[in-house]
Amino acid sequence: MGMSINTNVGAMIALQNLNRSNDQLEKTQLHITTGLKVNGPKDDASTYAIAQRMRGDIAGMQAVKTALAAGESTLNVAITAGKAISDMLTEMKAKTVQANQAGLDTASKTALNDDFTSLRDQLQTIVQTAEFNGKNLISSVATSLTVLSTVDGSVISVGAQKLDAATLGISTSNISSGASAALVAIDAAINTVTSSLASLGSAAKRIEVQTDFTTQLVDILKEGVGNLVDADLAEESASLQALQIKQQLGVQALSIANSGPQSILSLFGG
């Protein structure tokens, strides 16, 4: 093609190359800024779709983790209260055994019964306050607890363990006049609480195992999403430097191409 001031092919080619370099540089800067090589469906539609589905799974499992944590806390409160109740029953048994000895005077029996009654009242206080997030597993009106364990709606069921004085059969025990009967009732209550603690502990272990598994699964999914969409920042950094150089060279090439028509003036020089 001859020389022309209307059509500068060299400048057009240089501009096209410069625009491509600018587009690549913009994408690389976005990758570095966000840390992602796939920021949307325009970057890689299939990879973005897969990553979004996995992010949905992660969100669901995070909700399960929250439910498991709440369930575990509720159980921990019940177990802690149950242990305190067990300790109090042990003390109450000691008072009962003392009151059951032959030849004990009335004043001593009355003092022991006062201690016994005080411990029973404290037991009731513990039962009433063993609550987490509005749920009490050991009160007289306790109901079973269901804890969400999977994203498909499966649950871990935890049975209520009523540990109030009435349920344990010691609400009317009196060691000043009926120490033998009270001792039988206390022994039965200790067995009941021990069995209840075993049941609560078993349920707590199930929740703990499920929590650990869910946490590991979330970590694996996060790693999978990262492998799909995370940018290699070392590679992007090297690419950024190369593209910046290409951009500078493109500007120079465009400048040279634009100066080409100036040579036409020499053809008309005197």
Asked if 83 and 210 sit in the same domain, the reply is: yes
Asked if 30 and 88 sit in the same domain, the reply is: no
Residue 154 buriedness (CB in 10 A; 0-12 / 13-18 / 19+): exposed
Who wins on pLDDT, 208 or 236?
A: 208
Domain contains 98: yes
Give the other-Cβ count within 10 Å of 19's Cβ. Answer: 11
Who wins on pLDDT, 243 or 96?
A: 96
pTM: 0.76
Provide the CA 261 distance to its chain's centre, in angstroms.
Answer: 67
DSSP for 214-262 reads HHHHHHHHHHHHHHHHB--HHHHHHHHHHHHHHHHHHHHHHHHHHHGGG
Asked if 31 and 131 sit in the same domain, the reply is: no
pLDDT at site 8 = 72
Asked if 90 and 221 sit in the same domain, the reply is: yes
| Residue 4 contacts residue 254 (beta carbons within 8 Å) | no
Asked if 209 and 249 sit in the same domain, the reply is: no
Domain contains 66: no
pLDDT at site 6 = 67
1 pLDDT higher than 60? no
What average pLDDT does range 228-253 have in this prediction? 82
Q: pLDDT class for 38, splitting at 50, 70, 90?
A: confident
Rounded distance between C-alpha atoms, residue 10 and residue 12, angstroms: 5
Asked if 78 and 115 sit in the same domain, the reply is: yes
pLDDT at site 145 = 94
Tens digits of residue pLDDT in 130-164: 999 999 999 999 999 999 999 999 999 999 999 99
Asked if 240 and 152 sit in the same domain, the reply is: no
Domain contains 68: no
Asked if 221 and 99 sit in the same domain, the reply is: yes
Tens digits of residue pLDDT in 169-195: 988 888 877 788 889 999 999 999 999
For residue 145, the cross-strand partners are 158
Give the other-Cβ count within 10 Å of 125's Cβ. Answer: 10
Number of domains forming the structure of the chain: 2
Domain contains 239: yes
pLDDT at site 5 = 65
pLDDT over 90, % of the chain: 54
Domain contains 254: yes
Range of the domain at 124: 73-228
* CATH label of the domain that carries residue 223: 1.20.1330.10
Q: pLDDT class for 44, splitting at 50, 70, 90?
A: confident
Who wins on pLDDT, 258 or 219?
A: 219
Asked if 30 and 132 sit in the same domain, the reply is: no
Asked if 120 and 208 sit in the same domain, the reply is: yes
Domain contains 164: yes
pLDDT at site 269 = 64
Asked if 235 and 198 sit in the same domain, the reply is: no
Domain contains 190: yes
Domain contains 58: no
Q: pLDDT class for 28, splitting at 50, 70, 90?
A: confident
2 pLDDT higher than 80? no
- φ, ψ for residue 107 (rounded to 5)? -60, -40
Asked if 91 and 20 sit in the same domain, the reply is: no
